[in-house]
A and B are shown apart, each in its own frame.
Chain A
Amino acid sequence: MPELLVAFSYKDVLFLLQGALVTIAMCAMAFSCGLVVALLIGLIRTARRFPALRWIGWGYVEIFRGTPLLMQIFIAYFGLSILGLELPRFVAVSIPLILYTGAYMGEIVRAGVEAVSRGQWEAGWSLGMSYRQLMRYVVAPVAVRIMIPPSVGFLVQLVKGTSLAYVVGYVELTRAGYIISQSTYATMLVFTLVGAIYFGINYPLSLASQRLEIRLKRHA
């Protein structure tokens, strides 16, 4: 079908690359804000003295990991407009992604905090450290190292997750591909390109995550 490909030009490639930039921007937004949520969730899930908080954290994680991201995007997107909030579309599609990141990264934070042995906590307490000092000087140095490989792995999942913003019509990489495929009919070419761009973003992250994990195991 070479005659169909004539309609496909470098402008379409530029449009796809723009879409890729939007995808990356969404990821950056969701990951940075999601990390704040995740720290909160991770800390309240490991708070031994506050069972009620622990239950809230548990419920949050269960809900966001037990329902489809597609539904979370639908609900947040339409829910926000019911609340009467007129948010820019970028923010409206980022909010469910932020909450989603909070749940998955929250579990990674929790695993990191729990990896610090009980004895080290007790040593910190008995030295008279406050909770903040304990977290800062005893827990964080160990936990952060453990958290890095799975966090990079989660980034891959997040990049893939942003493609679902497609369903509310937000023009990121997947929607950009869909629009071009409809206008040029070079469907297979376009989706091969879209897939290749996602692969180009994700594969280095996947490799990095694997390498970091191997290195962490070696030094453990």
Chain B
Amino acid sequence: MSYTFHWEVPLRNLPQFLWGALATLEMSGVACLLGLLVAVCAALARLSKHRFLRGAATAYVEAIRNTPFIVQLFYVYFGLVVVGVNLEAFSVAIITLTINCGAYSTEIIRAGIQSIHRGQTEAGLSLGMTHWQVFRHVILLPTLRVVWPPLASQFIATMLGSSVASQISAEELTYAGMMLESRTFRTFEIFFFITILYFLMARLFSFLFSLTGHKVFREAWGQL
């Protein structure tokens, strides 16, 4: 092996990577929150009485879950251009990540809602709660509590998957690495370093979820 490693290349450009890491956190954080909203709506649609709503939600979930993210990304990226909407790559990445994360989370939330017994809803209504109150206190919060751990795994997967957004030149961590790579050709060192950063961010996500689970749902520590 006649290769000399140059670890000083990624280390000297640490500020760029930290900026990229923040961009990744921003991109995936926004996409996860919006995706959660989409998922709650789509899960309700999948469980609704209206055939059309049910069909549309099922088609959405199946179409997204059975195609690769990179293809979805290209589709949205070029599709928006075709219909004449010009957005920067970062926004396109957020939109696609939201659509993607929303579909996976829909199935998680649907399973959660189905785990709540019908009797609970009826009990809430007969106590004089409004439909909104029942939805909020009897369905949504207990559901989120049940699905918090799988939701955390999904959001971490979304964050790791956001690295693919570099392929449409959305400026995040992987893109920062690719830029530096094209100037220095230290491919291995740079991507190895970035991988460590992703690993740490995944841990951070996991910790944040554990913390919010603890604060919001009064769960015991260490569930995740």
**Contact surface of A with B, Cβ cutoff 8 Å:** 63, 66-72, 74-75, 78-79, 82-84, 156, 159-161, 163-164, 166-167, 174, 177-178, 181, 187-188, 191-192, 194-195, 198-199, 202-203, 206
Contacts and interface: CB of A to CB of B under 8 A. Distances in A.
Main DSSP-derived SS at the B contact region: helix
Given A75-B195, A181-B78, A68 B163 contact: yes
Nearest to B188: A78
Contact of B65 (A66, A82, A178, A206): A206
A67 B202 contact: yes
Interface of B: 1-3, 62-63, 65-72, 74-75, 78-79, 82, 156, 160-161, 163-164, 166-167, 174, 187-188, 191-192, 194-195, 198-199, 202-203
7 contacts: A68-B163, A68-B174, A79-B188, A82-B1, A163-B71, A187-B78, A199-B67
A67 B188 contact: no
Contacts of B198: 66-68, 71
Nearest 6 A-B pairs (CB), nearest first?
A163-B68, A202-B66, A160-B68, A68-B163, A68-B160, A71-B195
Contacts of B70: 163-164, 166, 174
Interface hub of A70, A159, A174 (most chain B Cβ within 10 A): A70
A181 B77 CA distance: 13
A174 B71 contact: yes
A191 B71 CA distance: 7
Contacts of A202: 65-67
Contacts of B199: 63, 66-67
A72 B62 CA distance: 27
B148 to A, nearest CB: 19
Given A160-B68, A164-B70, A195-B67, 14 more contacts: A67-B198, A68-B174, A68-B198, A70-B174, A82-B3, A156-B65, A160-B67, A163-B68, A164-B164, A174-B71, A181-B74, A181-B78, A187-B78, A202-B67
Contact of A206 (B66, B82, B161): B66
Contacts of A198: 66-68, 71
A187 B80 CA distance: 12
Contacts of A159: 68
Nearest to A163: B68
A186 to B, nearest CB: 10
A199 B59 CA distance: 12
Contact of A74 (B82, B161, B187, B202): B187
B136 to A, nearest CB: 31
A160 B198 CA distance: 20
B164 A70 contact: yes
Given A67-B202, A70-B174, A174-B71, A191 B160 contact: no
